[in-house]
Amino acid sequence: MTWQPVVGLEIHVQLKTRTKMFCRCANGFGGGENTQTCPVCLALPGALPVPNRIALEWTLKLGLALGCEIPKRAVFARKNYFYPDSPKGYQISQYDLPSCVNGRMLVPSSAGDHEVGIVRAHLEEDAAKTVHVGGRTGRIGGAEHSLVDFNRVGTPLVEIVTGPDIHSSEDARRFLQLLRQTIVELGISDAEMEKGTLRVDANVSVRPAGSAELRTRCELKNMNSFRFVAQGIDAEVARQIAVYEAGGEVVQETYDFDASSGALTARRSKEEADDYRYFPEPDLVPVEPPAELVERLRGELPELPSVRIRRLERELDLDRALVLVTGGLDRLYEATVAAGAEPLPVANLIANRLATSAGDAVDASQLALLVGARDRIPRAVLDDALSHIDEPGFEAAPYLAQEAVSDTGELEPVIARIIDANPGQVAAYRGGKEGLLGFFVGQVLKETGGKANARVVSELVRERLGA
Ligand code: ZN
Ligand code: MN
């Protein structure tokens, strides 16, 4: 039987507001442990929460970017649970009346746009950070003791829940890349998985291909990169298929995925909403965003990544468009093309040679000059130029002046020498190992101190060896 994976994602995004969600403590890294706290976020008796207006607006903005409806009324609720990372004994979240509902994100793919439903996006507060000491994995299992850092407690989090619309680990990865880029461009979070400002849980089930049923799902947690999310999904899909094919039943459980071993470890059976005894937060009034505010935020949305991917795809191709847009490099690409450089070489050079972080610092007109001269200047000079291109005041001119040696009269004796010195490789090349062309070109470049024009050298070598 063929099986289809069915995946829904739950994504937590830590907003980079200046202060926490319900108090005026600083939000963010940098302070020593347990220095960014106050009576509100430590839940001392009598302290009352005051919502952060910016966090509320950013949640709506993200919801609008995800095509959500903004209900006229959202309500904060208490989600009750006992754990040392939650001094109140509950988390303030949103439950039956979230801030954003019924959205969708279009993920461009070679088979057309793949639509992923956004069930809801709601605002809540983060828990404190627990540090498990003495164990092998840094997780609670096997640890000797645990410490709690309350700096993170009460920082604003948006939780985004997708529909069960994702059917491969590759689609999950692509959706997450696009979502992350959207969040970063809205300026509301750094959305970095390694730092925990973006966290992804995956609900995974499988079903016979062609059926529409939803079978029992398992939840994967604690995956700290998009690659690990994809690997975790693949491992869980394989596990469930094996269970069904052996005649068993999948039991609803939460798993940790360990990317280094590929192992899935069951942590606990999944709790249901009933277990949390949700009720409306009595210390906060409902959120009723005025229509003018929603329209203003809608007007502030930038052109979204998925739209830009489709636009760039028309002059490049889908893969290059995806790399440029999800790397935050497409504006530099467009500016460089507008400055007169050819699209394809610009796309390749930016995608392969520039760090994502360099994008905003590069002067497109200088990059266009380098792209135009890329075949005339030695490879080493081009590399050197690219390594400095994001520095302020960078000028391409001095690099362009170092034209590569293309003079055949100068190159031919060097080529002849190298061919004579390597009779074994010459015979192999003539016997069909054409990949050795690179070996000869490399030797000539080395001999000329990197100054030879690689394209001209490769033509000359090919000619001579073909003779
Ligand atoms: Zn506080
Ligand atoms: Mn949550």
Q: How far away, in angstroms, is 87 Cα from ligand 1 center?
A: 12
Percent of the chain residues topping a pLDDT of 70? 98
Which residue, 382, 400, 418, sits at the end of a domain? 400
Q: How far away, in angstroms, is 223 Cα from ligand 1 center?
A: 28
For the chain, the 3-state helix, strand and coil shares in percent, each to the nearest 5, are 40, 20, 40
* CA–CA dist 332, 355 (Å, integer): 12
Which residue, 351, 381, 400, sits at the end of a domain? 400
- The pLDDT of residue 467 is above 70: no
pLDDT at 263: 86
Quick: pLDDT tens for 41-91.
999 999 999 999 999 999 999 999 999 999 999 999 999 999 999 999 999
Enter the pTM of the model.
0.84
Q: Do residue 126 and residue 192 come from a single domain?
A: yes
* CA–CA dist 356, 294 (Å, integer): 32
What's the mean pLDDT when you consider all of the chain? 91
**Domain interval for residue 452:** 408-466
For residue 393, which phi and psi values (nearest 5 degrees)?
A: 80, 15
Which amino acid would we find at residue 346? V
For residue 388, which phi and psi values (nearest 5 degrees)?
A: -110, 0
With bands split at pLDDT 50, 70 and 90, how would you rate the model's confidence at 445?
A: confident
Q: Do residue 384 and residue 431 come from a single domain?
A: no
- The pLDDT of residue 464 is above 90: no
Q: How far away, in angstroms, is 203 Cα from ligand 2 center?
A: 14
Q: Do residue 286 and residue 315 come from a single domain?
A: no
Q: Do residue 137 and residue 156 come from a single domain?
A: yes
Q: How far away, in angstroms, is 358 Cα from ligand 2 center?
A: 33
- The pLDDT of residue 272 is above 90: no
Quick: pLDDT tens for 378-409.
888 888 888 888 888 888 888 887 777 778 88
Q: How far away, in angstroms, is 31 Cα from ligand 2 center?
A: 24
Ligand index nearest the alpha carbon of residue 13:
2
Q: Classify the C-alpha dihedral 430-431-437-442 as positive or negative.
A: negative
pLDDT at 258: 85
Q: How far away, in angstroms, is 254 Cα from ligand 1 center?
A: 31
Domain count of the fold of the chain: 3
Q: Do residue 294 and residue 335 come from a single domain?
A: no
Q: Do residue 360 and residue 432 come from a single domain?
A: no
Q: Do residue 388 and residue 425 come from a single domain?
A: no
Q: Where are the alpha helices (DSSP H) in 83-158?
A: none
**CATH code where residue 441 lies:** 1.10.10.410
Q: How far away, in angstroms, is 24 Cα from ligand 1 center?
A: 6
Q: Where are the alpha helices (DSSP H) in 223-304?
A: 226-245, 291-299
Q: Do residue 285 and residue 364 come from a single domain?
A: no
Q: Do residue 146 and residue 63 come from a single domain?
A: yes
Q: How far away, in angstroms, is 9 Cα from ligand 2 center?
A: 12
pLDDT at 222: 77
Q: How far away, in angstroms, is 439 Cα from ligand 2 center?
A: 56
- Contact call for residues 153 and 37 (beta carbons, < 8 A): yes
| Other C-beta atoms lying within 10 Å of the C-beta of residue 431 | 9
Q: Do residue 371 and residue 241 come from a single domain?
A: no
- The pLDDT of residue 356 is above 70: no
Ligand index nearest the alpha carbon of residue 95:
2
Ligand index nearest the alpha carbon of residue 154:
1
Ligand index nearest the alpha carbon of residue 153:
1
pLDDT at 30: 74
Q: How far away, in angstroms, is 46 Cα from ligand 1 center?
A: 14
Quick: pLDDT tens for 202-257.
999 999 999 999 999 999 987 889 999 999 999 999 999 999 999 999 999 898 88
- The pLDDT of residue 270 is above 70: no
Q: How far away, in angstroms, is 144 Cα from ligand 1 center?
A: 29
Percent of the chain residues topping a pLDDT of 90? 64
Which residue, 282, 298, 314, sits at the end of a domain? 298
Q: Do residue 40 and residue 174 come from a single domain?
A: yes
Q: How far away, in angstroms, is 224 Cα from ligand 1 center?
A: 27
Ligand index nearest the alpha carbon of residue 124:
2
Q: Do residue 349 and residue 383 come from a single domain?
A: yes
Tokens for 456, please give them.
């001209």
